[in-house]
Chains A and B, each alone.
Chain A
C-alpha cells in the first residue's frame, strides 16, 4: 500500500449542540481497503460525507493527495460515492445512469458506450442497458450504483453501508465481489458498516468508532486479537469482559482467582478489564480447571456449540466444538496468551466508550 491519499486533520462537526465528531484524525493510504466500523449513530456517515464534500467540518482540514480540499464542492473532487440506498436516477435507464458522470465530463459517445459495456460486465449485469433503474432487485441496483461510480475512474470510492439492505447470502456474495472489484481496479475503498463480520472479512484496515471518537485503528487480526479497550472487545465479536486487578507483571486476579497472563507494564495492584474470547475458554473436568462452574445454557450454532457457564458469580460465554449438557460441572482454563488486559477508562475520550450497544 502506498502513501497517504486522504488525510483528515482535526475534524470536528456538531449539529446544534450535538457533537457528532470531535477532533477526528485519520489517514487513508493509496490502494487501501479501509472500513469505518461502529454502532449506528457513531458518525460514520458524517465522516464519509465530509470526505465526499456533502458536509463541511466545523474545524479541521481534509487533505487529498497533498491538496487541501476542505472547501471544494463534491463535483470537483476526484472521488465517487456509493450511497446508502443506492440513489439511482429512477427516470433514466441503467445505461443512462452509468453514462451520467461521463456525459457531464463531455466524453465521446463511443468512449461512453465502451465504458457502459465494461462496467456492466464488471458487475455481472451484461445486457441490462435498457432496463429502468427501479425494475431491478436490491442487489442489482447496488451493483449498478457501483458501476455508475467506477466508470469515472475515481481515485477513491466511498461506500456507505452498501450491503446493508441485502439478505445474508447476497451480502456474502457481494463482499467477495467487492474485494474482487477492488483488486481489479486498484483503487482505494473507504467502506462504512456497522457489521463487524463484514469489516473483518473485507478490510485491510479497520477504524472502530464510537460516539464520534476513534476507538482503535488496525488490521482485522489486530483489532480482533488485541482490542485496545472494552468497547472494541465487546463490539468485535462476543467477549467475556471481567473487571479485575493487575497484581504484578504477568499475573492478574479476577473473580477472586489469580490467572497467569503475558501482559506487562500495567503496574502493581492496578484495576483493569480482562477480555477473554469465548473460543479461548477451555472447559475441562472440575479438578483440572483454574475455577469451577456449572453449565447453564447450551445452543448449537452450526460450526460450534455455545454455552454459558456460571463460575464465581460471572456468566462465562464459551464456544467449543465439544458440548457439555446443561447442569454439567466443569472446570475453566484459559491459556495465559489468550487473556487480554486493558486499562480501565480514565480520560474523557475513553469514557465515551462502552456506554451502550
Chain B
C-alpha cells in the first residue's frame, strides 16, 4: 500500500465505523431476529408468514400504491425538471429552492396538512361545495394515500432527474436538431436515454419509501388501510420483533428487485462513483 492509499484508508475510517454501527450491525440484528423465534431457535416461520392472506394482501396493496405513486411522480417530475433545465440560470436557482423548501418542513406536518385538506368537511370539501359538489369523500381511501405519497416524495424524483438534465450539454441537443431531429425525436432518442441514470435514482428514491411507509397510510388511510409498513410497525410495537424483522426481510427482496430493475449500474450514485475513480 502506498502512502496516498494509506492516507485515504485513514480518512475513510470514521465512515467505516459509521457504516458498521448504523448499517451493518442493525442489518445483522434484523437477519438474526428474522430467522429465529422468541426462544432464539432457527425458524423460517417469520418469512413464510407472508403467504397468510392478511399479510399477502397488505404487501400487494403496498406494492400497487408504491408503483402508482412512483409512476405519477415520474410523469410529473420529468416535464418539470425539463422545464427547469431550460430556464435561464438566475430563475433556475430560485425555483429549485422553492422546490426544496417543503423538504425542510417536517414530513409529518406536511402529511397532516393533507389530512386537513382531504378530511370530511376539510378544505377540499368546502372548495368543492362552492361548485355544488358534495359527498366527495377521498380521505381514508387508497387515493388519499397516493396523493400523500406523491406530494411527499415528488422532490426526490425531481432533483435527480434535474441533476442529469442540467449536465446534458446544450450542443448535444443542438446536434440532434442539426441532424434533422424534431422536438419529440430529440426527446426520445437523446434526452431521455441520457437522463436514464437520474430516472433510475428517482424511481429508487420514491419507490423505496413509498413501499415501506406506515406514517402516510396511518394519517391519510385512517388506520383502516393496512400497508405492509403498518404491519411491521404493529408487530414491532407489539413486541414481536421476530415477525417484524421477517416481514422487513421480505420487503427488502422487493426493494432489491426494484434496484436491479432500475438498472443498478446506471444510477446517479454509481455514475458519481465512477467519475470520482477517474
Contact = CB atoms under 8 A, between A and B. Distances in A.
Contacts of A88: 172, 175
B182 interface: yes
Interface in B139-195: 169, 171-172, 174-182, 185, 189-190, 193-194
Nearest to B194: A91
B179 A100 contact: yes
Contacts of A74: 174, 177-178
A152 B180 contact: yes
18 contacts: A52-B174, A52-B178, A73-B177, A74-B174, A75-B181, A75-B182, A81-B175, A81-B178, A83-B175, A87-B171, A87-B175, A88-B175, A90-B194, A91-B196, A100-B176, A101-B180, A104-B179, A104-B185
Interface in B178-220: 178-182, 185, 189-190, 193-194, 196
B181 A104 contact: yes
B172 A87 contact: yes
Contacts of A152: 179-180
Contacts of B193: 91
Interface secondary structure of A, over-half rule? loop
Nearest to B186: A75
A89 B181 contact: no
A85 B182 CA distance: 22
Interface residues of B, number: 18
Contacts of B178: 52, 54, 74-75, 80-81, 149
Given A75-B178, A75-B182, A104-B185, 12 more contacts: A53-B177, A75-B180, A81-B178, A83-B174, A85-B171, A87-B169, A89-B194, A91-B196, A100-B176, A100-B179, A100-B189, A101-B180
Question: Which of B176, B185, B190 lies at the interface centre, i.e. has the most chain A CB atoms within 10 A of its CB?
Answer: B176
Interface in B43-76: none
Interface residues of A, number: 23
Interface string A263-302: 0000000000000000000000000000000000000000
Nearest to A81: B178
A89 B190 contact: yes
A141 interface: no
Contact of B179 (A54, A85, A101): A101
Nearest to A154: B178
Contacts of A18: none
B175 A89 contact: yes
Contacts of B181: 75, 100, 104
A115 interface: no
A106 B182 CA distance: 14
Contacts of A105: 180
Given A80-B179, A101-B180, A104-B181, A89 B172 contact: yes
What 7 pairs between A and B have smallest CB-CB spacing?
A101-B179, A87-B171, A83-B171, A87-B175, A104-B180, A74-B177, A91-B193
Given A75-B181, A152-B179, A85 B169 contact: yes
B30 to A, nearest CB: 38
A9 interface: no
Contacts of B182: 75
Given A75-B181, A75-B182, A90-B194, A81 B174 contact: yes
Contacts of B171: 83-85, 87
B263 to A, nearest CB: 13
A61 interface: no
Nearest to A84: B171
A194 interface: no
Nearest to A151: B179
Contacts of A91: 193-194, 196
Contacts of A149: 178-179
Nearest to B181: A104
A148 B179 contact: yes
Contacts of B189: 100
A89 B176 CA distance: 9
Nearest to B195: A91
A216 B193 CA distance: 45
Interface string A70-96: 000111000011011101111100000
Contacts of B190: 89
B40 to A, nearest CB: 52
A52 B176 CA distance: 12
Nearest to A103: B189
Interface string B247-260: 00000000000000
Contacts of B177: 53-54, 73-75
Contacts of B194: 89-91
A143 to B, nearest CB: 15
Nearest to B169: A87
Q: Quick one: which of A53, A84, A104 has the most chain B CB within 10 A? A: A104
Contacts of A101: 179-180
A144 to B, nearest CB: 12
